[in-house]
Amino acid sequence: MFDVDGTLADTMGAGKAALADAMAAVYGETGPVDSYDFHGRTDPEIVRGLLRATGRSDTDIDRGFGDLWPRYLQRLGAELAARRGRAVTLAGVISLLDRLAADDRFACGLVTGNLEEGARLKLGAVGCDGRFGFGGYGSDAEQRDTLPAVALDRAERRYGRAFDPGRSVVIGDTPADVRCARAAGTRVLAVATGRHTEHELASHRPDAVLPDLTDTERVLEFFLDG
């Protein structure tokens, strides 16, 4: 179960730009968008944090969500189109996904703070849409820790079989990915492809840490060791 931003793809700030535009249109302000740490948070959690910083109540924030998300997704599509050729998959991702798709021992999904449609747009922009059969998204829950369980439930319904959390793996580039995996009882592979170093990620005690996903054989070996 892969994270998207910083793990599978670099969309060159498209999500942040789209969210700032949508928030300005709906709420009339963005909060401290340039200094706020987006990494590892769900989209609703990001918006709430930004607007709480301006003194807005949760009731007021929730009231705007219905207008915010359609505008955000519209803007996200435009921002990704403007970055065509610059938004990319990260090192090793395509080779790894190709190997997993060819091996029926694996089922690939997502655990991401993106809205489901936002994840689809970002993955589509880098040529990865359609490779994931299930997922847990920021549109399912504001708290990331609940998302692996959502994803596993969808996997069970899609494939008609139970998936043991202890043999399932969350792959991500932030401490939040490690925490959500632990909350769900899954294994976790941390990759230093975002803003956190291997040393920083290791301090959160994932099951393994790699610099990136380029060593396909090593990643597969870790998956099968569980």
pLDDT tens digits, 32-45: 999 999 999 999 99
Mean pLDDT of 86-111: 97
Q: What is the pTM of this model?
A: 0.96
pLDDT in the model for residue 60: 98
**Which of 55, 82, 109 finishes a domain?**
82
pLDDT in the model for residue 15: 98
Domain count, the chain: 2
pLDDT tens digits, 99-155: 999 999 999 999 999 999 999 999 999 999 899 999 999 999 999 999 999 999 999
Q: What is the CATH number of the domain that holds 36?
A: 1.10.150.240
Transcribe 160-196 into DSSP letters.
TS---GGG-EEEESSHHHHHHHHHHT-EEEEE-SSSS
User: In this structure, is residue 31 part of a structural domain?
Assistant: yes
Query: Using CA atoms, how far apart are residues 36 and 19, in angstroms rounded to an integer?
Result: 13
Are residues 160 and 217 located together in one domain of the fold?
Answer: yes
Are residues 136 and 159 located together in one domain of the fold?
Answer: yes
Residue 226 has pLDDT above 80, yes or no: no
pLDDT tens digits, 46-56: 999 999 999 99
User: In this structure, is residue 5 part of a structural domain?
Assistant: no
Helix then strand count (H, E) for the chain reads: 9, 7
